[in-house]
Structure 1
Amino acid sequence: MIKRIKLPGWIVIISLFLLLIVGVVSMMQGSSEAKEKTEDYSVYPGLNIKTKTKETDLYTFSVSQPYTEHKQINKVIDEWVDQQKTDFTSEINIMEDFLKKNEFRAHLNIQVETEKIADQIYTLEFEAYQITGGANGMTKVKPFILDLNQNKMLQLGDVLQVKEASIKEIQKLIMKELNSNKEINDYIFEELAKEAIKNPDNWKWSISRDKMGVYFDEYEIAAGAAGRIKVEIPMKKIKPYLNKDFVEKIDITFPEEKNNKEEEKHSEDMVELDPNGKYVALTFDDGPHPKVTPQILATLKKHDAKATFFMLGSQVDYYPTLANEVAEAGHEIGDHTMNHQDLTILGIDQIQAEVQQSNSVIKKAAGRTPNLLRPPYGALNDNVKQIAANMELPIIMWSVDSLDWKSRNATAVNEEVMANVAPGSIVLLHDIHPSTAEALPELLTTLEKQGYQMVTVSQLLELWEDKGVGPHYGNIK
């Protein structure tokens, strides 16, 4: 039979076979994609954020970095962030002997403010602060304007009329705003300022629904005492020079924000514990994360376990619905500051701002104000303690470090915790690493077999009748 099939017949059979294979592969891929698809928790559609932290004997760094599904947009942002890291690392190499001799840790913090201008159009304002020695650090600012509808970074010509007459009028507005600012007026070098804005291609600028911002680095147009400078021109003044197409885009009407939920006590937090019970408090830092946090919530629910989540305000700003889900599930939410800065290198007013801003963002999202504080990196000094005391926020450290941030391995995480856990331990974990979510089912099962019950940090403090500021570390083996 096979011998009777001529060449054209074989071609048809082979073609059908190949189509069958392609169809099966496509079905498998579609199935895989369906399994991997996760709910979009971001309040900025098309835009997500990741926070990366690192700690060594010489330095710490924390980077909050938005990302999209568009590789070209991500590439532009990545290149700028990577350059800040490179500059910082180079400075560390130069200052290594100084840092060791003076027992001083350098620090790099990159944070971002995000503003929605219109549907899928955002302004990202990055601020990179680094300090590698001495009394003062260095701050750099970089704005990006993203149009995800067109998959591009907006340039000045996409927003403004770049005709010579229009540019001259905008230059006058910039100088007027600089000269009217009494706080920095005495430090401004007018000739340097005029030179800095001479070429619009070199402007660092941003746009929002109510103003245009123009940025200058430290020492660029003023004495160092002025710091970095941002000029803000009200929209009513800049609107005549905007492109008509852009004006139409930003005139989109946004729905009103939903009213904040009233703050309420959750009964799960108020359960009285048996003084003779065997308890451990699992704590999760740096979230919420759109993929990892939901996995952890599902596992905790399956084991009827409660935990404490120390959230970053910058993450909650992007994922408020997820923060609310954590609260609604009966878990405790603590404050991990707004931008994961080393609080010990900040002034007391800056420390207070970091904590208060995060408190406000979390309350708006979750419906209740955090009642605990965990300083990033566990870095403490008298100023941090004073702010915590003023705000009546107990400082919560940890007695068991899972080292999940280091190993990124589920087995290693379980081994590290079980080797050190004891009744009354406070365990440090992070709900930003997939390996931590993978480790949790086995970790909870093992703890339960040894008679442990998972509770919140506040429940432990209530059990110990310890309501002071602390710091509180928990028990070790």
Structure 2
Amino acid sequence: MKIKIDQLKRIKFKRVFTLLVCIFVLVLSIRYVISEKAQATIKKEPEINSDRKYPTVEIQTLIKDQTHGGYSVSYPSLHIKKIDQSLKTYVKKEIANYQQTLAQNAISKNISTELTITYDITHYSEQTVTILFNKYIFTGGKWGEPSIQTFTFDLPSKKQISLQDIFYENSDYLNSLSMIAFTELKQNKNLTELEQLKEKTKPSIENFSEFSLLENTIVLYFQPFLKPTGYSEPQSIAIKKEIFDSILLDQYKNTEANKNKIKETPPSHIVTEIPNSSGIDPTKKVIALTFDDGPSKGPTTLILDALKESDSHATFFVLGSRVQYYPEIIQRMLEEGNEVGNHSWDHPQLSRLTEEQVQHQILDTQAIIKKVSGHEPIHLRPPYGAINDNVRQYLGGGLSVTLWNVDTEDWKSRDKDQIVQSVMSKVADGKIVLMHDIYATSAEAAIEIIKQLKAQDYQLVTISELEEVKKQRQEA
């Protein structure tokens, strides 16, 4: 009897033990399944890669890992739909252009190629953000010409802006930027030939399309220059905003809204004044020759040749109706340091016109000059000198009216010697001389006048240069 009881106890114990083991195994299995599901869930969530400087910005990457036709592209997502779409469109277009180039050039698939695009957020404030892209293409063991592309957005409006959007309309910012860029880049003797440098820094909006707005400075970027040994690195120039205080729109000045989200490191070298690239000495005599009613092919060209030969400048007040026929002459005027002013469309007496007619005469002339040269005049010479309060009101203060104090009346005499005598008998420091560049006799006279003025140590300057000299003298 006792033996049976013991056997029953052992059987019961085994059953209980077996049950406990099963329960333990079941618990472990359930925990394992739960853990695997949790891990699977975590793996499905995309990994967020944040920008190292701005953690709220997410880095987007596009990668094609193959020897031929591969690419590695990164761009930022600011979580602002309109801006993000612009940046995505840019990189997609660059990839498409790269692939199209490979196909068009029939580059063998045995040759390794890769497109690399990286970015840097150069400034990020409440007002603006600038993204600078660097692009490189690797082909057959060699890197090609690097290139840069900037995107500057006005954040309140979420619109991409260009340099002309940050300055007041009709302000002559391009000429100032041109002088600064040429002077700064010329210091690097190994950068490029002088003529190429002049071409890349002439006052056209296309030459100043890449830029960044920092707290206190405007940074200009230039594509690499071609050198005998290959391409240079992209160049940059930082300019203090205060230089443009009178023409820079208030929202882009050094205000609280333009403070960077992180502490901003200022550029190592900052331009703090517009250089006197013309070499004008304000302590020496200056005179401004001005020519109306052009341009014309013969006379204007002769005058430009004489100015260039004597390293002098003048101001040409042109008619819009003639500009369209001689765009290359307008371009030459500006490239050689001369100034182009507005002389109306077809020479009416403005004081007899309605507001609408005056604005047609002036604004259409501004537009055609800008179209052919990228330059917008800041000086107006009204035909016949006819100006009154109504005309000034119609113009809205956008142009400075420039008259004269030495009238050669070359249109009346058409006599070279008489014109020369008329000028040389009345010249004095700071005078403005009125001539016309549509008559052969005026051009012949101008050539002689330039020689005689240079012999008397006059500096021949533009209207803007004359104004600057007068300003420097007053300050002194």
Give the TM-score taking structure 2 as reference length: 0.41
Which has the larger Rg? Answer: 2
Superposition TM-score, scaled by structure 1 size: 0.41
Structure with greater contact order relative to length (CA < 8 Å, sep ≥ 6):
1
